[in-house]
Amino acid sequence: MREQLFRRKPVEALLADAAPHAGSLKRALGAFDLTLLGIGAIIGAGIFVLTGVAAAEYAGPAVTSSFVIAGFACAMAALCYAEFAAMIPVAGSAYSYSYATMGELVGWIIGWDLVLEYAVAAAAVAVGWSGYLNVILLGMGIHLPAALTHAPAPGHLLQIDLPALLIVLIMSSILYVGISESARINSAIVMIKLFAIAVVIVVGVFYVRPANWTPYAPFGWGGVMRGAAVIFFAYIGFDAVSTAAEEVVDPQRNLPIGILASLFVCTALYIIVAGILTGMVPAHLIDIKAPLASAFVLRGLNFVAGIVSLGAVAGLTSVMLVLLLGQSRIFFAISRDGLLPPAFSRVHPRFRTPYIPTILTGLVVGITAALLPIQEIAELTNIGTLFAFVLVCLGVWILRHVEPDMKRPFHTPMVPLVPILGALFCAYLMLQLPMVTWIRFFLWMGAGLVIYFCYGRFHSVVNTHSHERDRAAIS
């Protein structure tokens, strides 16, 4: 049993599974596409909401330093992801990396964790998208019935968040049709939100008052660090780039570029926007619900506030698209290894996409967003992501010892320092989350272990091949 649970899947086998063949996924993404996918996944509600929360409640104008610290910590994990993605360019992301370094049980645990991360995050983003859309429609004089824009609540059970359901189904339909189409639509959406951010920077800089930056750190170093812990989650999303590895042209080169370039661009934008926001409005007066839009409203620039709201909707749309993409590819990789039923790894003969997990993910996420008050469990996304980051950081260090001679197109610098720093910082942030989040996390993991021990370990392709070799040796 112990040998079975910790049996590693050889990297050569992972690469063989991902090799192009008649039934493989379509390779159509370049470095620019991946960078935009990363930006699409990272820039969402974080820049439009968390910037204000961190400035008003924790760091003050020093929120810019909080972004630098959080970005540096996230870069540690990103460098580890870049090495793995270039070395093992397969659809499973952290699941496949853990399977190759720490064994089948750990691989399954992180795969099940990623299912939680992407599904809950996509549902929460869909609910946020619905809320922003409703605000924009209200500004245009269009009033949607409350029964069609809110999840059921005590005393109001005959309600459904219809916009949240519809946007998930639309994004899933795009992903069903093909990765090229999905990348083009994502690129267009990303350009819209980058335009909105550019407007914030170009217009906002003329309304900055340097006096608002004093005192720079009203809550001291502790406030800066607490701010970093809060806004770290604004960076989450670059890991989703690695889930598209089997649809990338020249993945050894393009995956590291996509991961690191998207993180660098987003970090620079976050710091600039945070500086402008705190320069426009004193930190203690920032509206934490809509910080950027309200800052321009205070200056009488309602038109710019409208552009910011449009950018927020575009940002959430692209985040949702990339999360749904990542979810279906995780299912695809786990199923190909036999730990989930084979239907999840079937590729559409025409579109060359994993259509069954795409359909299932869209339905489950859409119904969840439409019927459940998802905000309360959104912190599950944070703990799931951080747990994945910890294992990827440790995995790079482990594989350097287990497979020292393996070809590495991209090398994480300063190993083991970078992986250790990445793992420690992510573990520290996990400890900042409330106990109820940990309880829900363990309940989800418990359900995953039941599935593994009842199905996965008996159908594992690695174990099946091992038993066949043993029987052949005996005979």
Q: How far apart are CA 127 and CA 130, in angstroms?
A: 5
User: Would the pLDDT of 474 be above 80?
Assistant: no
Q: How far apart are CA 422 and CA 354, in angstroms?
A: 32
User: Domain residue spans in the chain?
Assistant: 2-474
What pLDDT digit, counting tens, does each position of 291-347 carry?
888 888 888 888 888 888 888 888 889 889 988 998 999 999 999 999 999 999 999
> For 56-92, what is each residue's pLDDT tens digit?
888 999 999 999 988 888 899 999 999 999 999 988 8
What span, in angstroms and rounded, lies between the C-alpha atoms of 145 and 155?
16
Average pLDDT estimate for 356-375: 87
Choose the CATH number for 2-474 among 1.20.1440.230, 2.60.40.10, 1.20.1740.10, 3.90.1010.10: 1.20.1740.10
Distance from C-alpha of 465 to C-alpha of 475, rounded to nearest angstrom: 15
- Which region among 135-139, 148-152, 373-377 has the lowest average model confidence (pLDDT)? 373-377
What is the pLDDT, as a whole number, of residue 380? Answer: 67
* DSSP result, 374-390: GGGGTHHHHHHHHHHHH
Using the predicted structure, report yes or no on whether residue 475 has a pLDDT greater than 60.
Answer: no
pLDDT band of residue 473 (cuts 50, 70, 90) is very low
Query: Over pLDDT 90: what percentage of the chain?
Result: 43
Which pLDDT does position 45 carry in this prediction? 64
Model confidence at 470: pLDDT above 70: no
**pLDDT above 50: residue 364:** yes
The answer to whether the bond into 416 is cis (omega within 30° of 0) is yes
Whether 34 has a pLDDT exceeding 70, the answer reads yes
Per-residue pLDDT of 252-295, as tens digits, reads: 999 999 999 999 999 999 999 999 999 999 998 888 777 888 88
Average pLDDT over residues 132-142: 79
Cβ atoms of 105 and 1 closer than 8 Å: no
